[in-house]
Structure 1
Amino acid sequence: MVQEKIQKANQEALEKILNGQPVLIGIGTASEVVPGMTKKSILHAGPPVTWEKMSGPLKGAVIGGLIYEGLAVNEAEAVALAESGEIIFDPCHHHNAVGPMAGVMTASMPVWIIKNMTYGNEAYCTLNEGLGKVLRYGAYGEDVINRLKWMETVLAPVLKEALALSGSLDLKNMIAQVIMMGDEGHNRNKAGTSLLIRELAPHIIGTSFSNEAKIEVLRFIHGNDHFFLNLTMPACKATLEAAKDIPYSTIVYTMARNGTEFGIRVSGLGDRWFTAPAEIIDGLYFPGYSAADANPDIGDSTITETCGIGGFAMAAAPAIVQFVGGTPQDAINYSKLMYEITEAENNTYKIPVLNFKGTATGIDIQKVVETNILPIINTGIAHNKPGVGQVGAGLVRPPMKCFEDALEAFVLDLEEKGAI
Structure 2
Amino acid sequence: MTTTPTAVANVGADLLADAVADQATPVTRVDWRPPMTGTEADLATVAADPLRRTANERALAAMLGVTATLVDVAPASELLGLEAGQFLHAGPPITWDRMSGPLKGALMGGAALEGLVADPEDAVAIFESGANVSFEPCHHRSAVGPMAGVVTPSMWMFVLEDATTGRRTYCSLNEGLGKVLRYGAYSSEVLTRLRWMRDVLGPLLQKAVRGSEPVDVTGILTQMLQMGDEAHNRNRAGTLMLLRDLSPAMVTSGMDSADVAETLRFIGGNDHFFLNLAMPACKLALDAARGIEGSTMVVAMARNGTDFGIQVAGTGDEWFTGPAQLADGLFLGNYGPDDANPDIGDSAITESAGIGGFAMATAPAIVRLVGGSVPDALATTRRMHEITLGENPRWSVPVLEFQGTPTGIDVSMVCRTGILPQINTGMAGRVAGVGQVGAGLVTPPAEIFPKALARLAELTRARA
Q: Same fold (TM over 0.5)?
A: yes
Corresponding residue for residue 80 of structure 1: 125
- Amino acid of the residue matched to residue 104 of structure 2? K
Corresponding residue for residue 216 of structure 1: 262
Q: Deviations over 1:319-343 (max 9, x none)?
A: 0000000111110100000000000
- Amino acid of the residue matched to residue 262 of structure 2? E
Match runs of 1:176-187 below 5 Å: 176-187=222-233
Question: Does the CA contact (< 8 Å) of 2:298 and 2:409 recur in 1?
Answer: yes
- Amino acid of the residue matched to residue 39 of structure 1? A
Q: 1:272 aligns with which of 318, 327, 341?
A: 318
Question: Does the CA contact (< 8 Å) of 1:379 and 1:394 recur in 2?
Answer: yes
Tell me the CA shift for residue 204 of structure 1.
1.1
Q: 2:173 aligns with which of 95, 107, 127?
A: 127
Q: 1:319 aligns with which of 362, 365, 373?
A: 365
Question: Does the CA contact (< 8 Å) of 2:104 and 2:432 recur in 1?
Answer: yes
Corresponding residue for residue 67 of structure 1: 112
3-state SS of paired residue (2:102): helix
In structure 1, list runs of 5 or more residues that go unmatched.
none
Q: 2:274 aligns with which of 228, 232, 236?
A: 228
1:359, 1:154 → 2: CA distance? 37
Q: 1:45 aligns with which of 90, 96, 101?
A: 90
Corresponding residue for residue 146 of structure 1: 192
Tell me the CA shift for residue 392 of structure 1.
0.3
> How many pairs does the alignment contain?
417
- Amino acid of the residue matched to residue 448 of structure 2? C
Tell me the CA shift for residue 371 of structure 1.
0.3
Corresponding residue for residue 300 of structure 2: 254
Corresponding residue for residue 7 of structure 1: 53
Corresponding residue for residue 309 of structure 2: 263
- Amino acid of the residue matched to residue 313 of structure 1? A
Q: Deviations over 1:230-287 (max 9, x none)?
A: 0000111111111100000000001000000000000000000000000000000001
Tell me the CA shift for residue 362 of structure 1.
0.3
1:139, 1:199 → 2: CA distance? 31
Question: Does the CA contact (< 8 Å) of 2:49 and 2:460 recur in 1?
Answer: no
Corresponding residue for residue 327 of structure 2: 281
Tell me the CA shift for residue 175 of structure 1.
0.3
Question: Does the CA contact (< 8 Å) of 1:19 and 1:118 recur in 2?
Answer: no
3-state SS of paired residue (1:244): coil
Tell me the CA shift for residue 72 of structure 1.
1.1
Tell me the CA shift for residue 167 of structure 1.
2.0
2:120, 2:192 → 1: CA distance? 16
Tell me the CA shift for residue 74 of structure 1.
1.1
Match runs of 1:7-406 below 5 Å: 7-34=53-80, 36-85=81-130, 86-406=132-452
Question: Does the CA contact (< 8 Å) of 2:362 and 2:398 recur in 1?
Answer: yes
Question: Does the CA contact (< 8 Å) of 1:102 and 1:138 recur in 2?
Answer: yes
Tell me the CA shift for residue 38 of structure 1.
2.1
- TM-score, scaled relative to structure 2: 0.89
Question: Does the CA contact (< 8 Å) of 2:111 and 2:120 recur in 1?
Answer: no
1:390, 1:4 → 2: CA distance? 47
- Amino acid of the residue matched to residue 322 of structure 1? R
Question: Does the CA contact (< 8 Å) of 1:46 and 1:298 recur in 2?
Answer: yes
The range that moved more, 188-197 or 79-88, is 79-88
Structure possessing the higher radius of gyration over alpha carbons: 2
Q: Deviations over 1:197-247 (max 9, x none)?
A: 111111111111111011000000011000000000011111111110000
3-state SS of paired residue (2:158): strand
3-state SS of paired residue (1:315): helix
Q: Deviations over 1:39-71 (max 9, x none)?
A: 221100000000000000000000000000001
Superposed CA RMSD in Å reads 0.9
1:56, 1:408 → 2: CA distance? 32
1:181, 1:311 → 2: CA distance? 16
Tell me the CA shift for residue 116 of structure 1.
1.7
Identity of aligned residues (%): 53
Tell me the CA shift for residue 37 of structure 1.
2.3
1:264, 1:293 → 2: CA distance? 26
Q: 2:461 aligns with which of 396, 415, 418?
A: 415
Q: Deviations over 1:107-128 (max 9, x none)?
A: 1100000012233211000000
- Amino acid of the residue matched to residue 166 of structure 2? G
Question: Does the CA contact (< 8 Å) of 1:245 and 1:267 recur in 2?
Answer: yes
Tell me the CA shift for residue 162 of structure 1.
1.0
3-state SS of paired residue (1:366): helix
In structure 2, list runs of 5 or more residues that go unmatched.
1-46
- Amino acid of the residue matched to residue 81 of structure 1? I
- Amino acid of the residue matched to residue 108 of structure 1? S
- Amino acid of the residue matched to residue 117 of structure 2? A
Tell me the CA shift for residue 2 of structure 1.
4.2
- Amino acid of the residue matched to residue 149 of structure 1? R
1:243, 1:130 → 2: CA distance? 31
2:250, 2:235 → 1: CA distance? 21
Tell me the CA shift for residue 164 of structure 1.
1.5
Question: Does the CA contact (< 8 Å) of 1:65 and 1:104 recur in 2?
Answer: yes
- Amino acid of the residue matched to residue 331 of structure 2? Y
1:79, 1:383 → 2: CA distance? 18
- TM-score, scaled relative to structure 1: 0.98
1:116, 1:303 → 2: CA distance? 17
